[in-house]
């Protein structure tokens, strides 16, 4: 297989474009797709990139250093023994290699708790709790430190697997969150959100992070429930092999559906912390309140 641009040996096929690329031209393609999100949606200003230490957010940070944006990184230490330390070391090494400032926010130091102790107290699966905590802390950090946007490493495959998982459970609300950009909303102290890898697949992000030689952490979270997500991803990938471009078309359709759905539900400031909620007290504060009560016995 030869590169469609320069006829060197190709390292990857980008099926939706009907092209194959060598290392140099793949990097150009990848950065072009990232740039497209910023240009199309007019995203600019100070960007806080949520760096988990994994391949996607690492590839995303590397790509952002090639764009004309002011970027810093944030790692959240959730206190998961072994896993959080590995991820933190990777995040530190990635940020140092890319010469980007890294901020570390520690759940134990700031809120006196960790994911394992929350799991024990709540007796529930950690994924949704962890999601609530991460989303809350990332937004709060970015808001308090004057960032215009919070960027995450969600890629096209993640987005679609997430939506199909929700469809499989007749759960439609997160449709509203699937676009590449969400505007800031001052009433809930919400910074803007951007997903720079929105048009790029899992495979493309993996290849890009390998080419960039980033010291990523490949460990999986011990609580991760990936069975259905992986199944969805495998299914989407095999569909894409038979129908090149179908992933992007799915994403486009979902975006249009979400535009047609009722949006901008009433958001107000949480009575306790002032951050966004639709219910008086936000999910994060409700969780922390329950935890305090339970730990007091």
Positions that interact with ligand FES (CB under 6 A): 78, 115, 126-127, 130, 221, 223-224
Smallest gap from residue 90 Cβ to Zn ion (A) = 30
Residue 76 lies near ligand AMP (rule: CB under 6 A): yes
β-pairing, 181-182 with 192-194? antiparallel
| Sign, Cα dihedral of 173, 177, 179, 184 | positive
Q: Which of 25, 27, 134, 283 binds ligand AMP (CB under 6 A)?
A: 134
Does 154 interact with ligand AMP (rule: CB under 6 A)? Answer: yes
DSSP-derived letter for residue 219 is P
Smallest separation, CB 118 to ligand FES (Å): 9
**Of ligand FES, ligand AMP, Zn ion, none, which one does residue 59 interact with (CB within 5 to 8 Å by kind)?**
none
Distance CA 154, CA 52 (A): 11
Output 27 or 88, the one with its CB closest to ligand AMP.
Answer: 88
Residues 23-82 close enough to bind Zn ion by CB under 5 A: 25
Distance of closest approach, residue 78 Cβ to ligand AMP, in angstroms: 6
220-259 footprint of Zn ion as x/- string (CB under 5 A): ----------------------------------------
Cβ proximity to Zn ion, 9 vs 39, nearer residue:
9
The reply on whether position 22 binds Zn ion by CB under 5 A is yes
* 3-state class percentages of the chain: helix first, strand second, coil last, to nearest 5: 50, 15, 35
Structure tokens at 46: 């100070």
Minimum CB distance to ligand FES, residue 192 (Å): 24
**Which residue in the block uniquely carries the two structure tokens 């950065």?**
31
Whose structure tokens read 């100070």?
A: 46
Contacts of 267 (CB under 8 A, 6+ apart): 185, 187, 188, 190, 276, 277, 278
Checking DSSP bridges between strand 19-21 and strand 102-106, what pairing results, if any? unpaired
Quick check: 153 binds ligand AMP (CB under 6 A)? Answer: yes
Residue 285 binds Zn ion, judged by CB under 5 A: yes
How many residues bind ligand AMP (CB under 6 A)? The answer is 14
51 binding ligand AMP? (CB under 6 A): yes
Q: Are 48 and 149 in contact (CB under 8 A)?
A: yes
Collapsing DSSP to helix, strand or coil, 71 comes out as: strand
Between residues 6 and 96, which has the closer beta carbon with respect to Zn ion? 6
Distance in Å, CB of 221 to ligand AMP, minimum: 7
Pairwise CA distance, residues 136 & 284, whole Å: 7
DSSP 265: -
Query: Is 250 strand, coil or helix?
Result: helix
Q: How far is the CB of 150 from ligand FES (least distance, A)?
A: 17
The residue (of 94 and 282) whose beta carbon lies closer to Zn ion is 282
Instruction: Dig out the tokens for 181 from the structure.
Output: 């950009």
What are the residues binding ligand AMP (CB under 6 A)?
A: 50-52, 56-57, 74-76, 78, 134, 152-154, 158
């Amino acid at each position: 297989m030869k590169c469609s641009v320069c006829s060197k040996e190709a390292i990857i096929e980008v099926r939706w474009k009907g092209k194959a690329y060598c290392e140099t031209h793949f990097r150009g393609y990848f950065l072009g797709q990232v740039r497209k999100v910023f240009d199309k949606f007019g995203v600019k200003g100070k960007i806080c990139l949520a760096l988990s230490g994994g391949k996607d957010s690492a590839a995303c940070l590397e790509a952002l250093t090639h764009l004309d944006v002011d970027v810093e990184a944030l790692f959240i230490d959730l206190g998961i023994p072994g896993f959080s330390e590995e991820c933190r070391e990777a995040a530190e090494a990635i940020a140092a290699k890319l010469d980007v400032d890294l901020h570390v926010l520690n759940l134990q130091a700031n809120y006196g708790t960790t994911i394992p102790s929350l799991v024990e107290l709540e007796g529930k699966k950690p994924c949704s709790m962890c999601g609530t905590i991460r989303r809350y802390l990332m937004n709060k950090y970015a808001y308090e430190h004057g960032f215009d946007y919070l960027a995450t490493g969600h890629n096209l495959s993640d987005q679609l697997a997430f939506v199909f998982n929700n469809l499989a459970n007749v759960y439609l609300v997160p449709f509203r969150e699937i676009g590449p950009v969400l505007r800031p909303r001052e009433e809930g102290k919400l910074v803007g959100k951007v997903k720079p890898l929105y048009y790029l697949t899992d495979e493309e992000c993996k290849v890009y992070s390998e080419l960039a030689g980033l010291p990523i952490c490949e460990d999986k979270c011990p609580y991760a429930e990936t069975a259905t997500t992986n199944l969805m991803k495998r299914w989407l990938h095999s569909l894409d092999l038979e129908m090149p471009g179908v992933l992007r078309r799915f994403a486009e359709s979902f975006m249009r559906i979400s535009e047609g759905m009722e949006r901008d539900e009433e958001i107000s400031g949480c009575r306790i912390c002032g951050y966004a909620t639709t219910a008086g007290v936000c999910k994060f504060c409700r969780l922390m309140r329950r935890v305090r009560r339970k730990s007091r016995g």
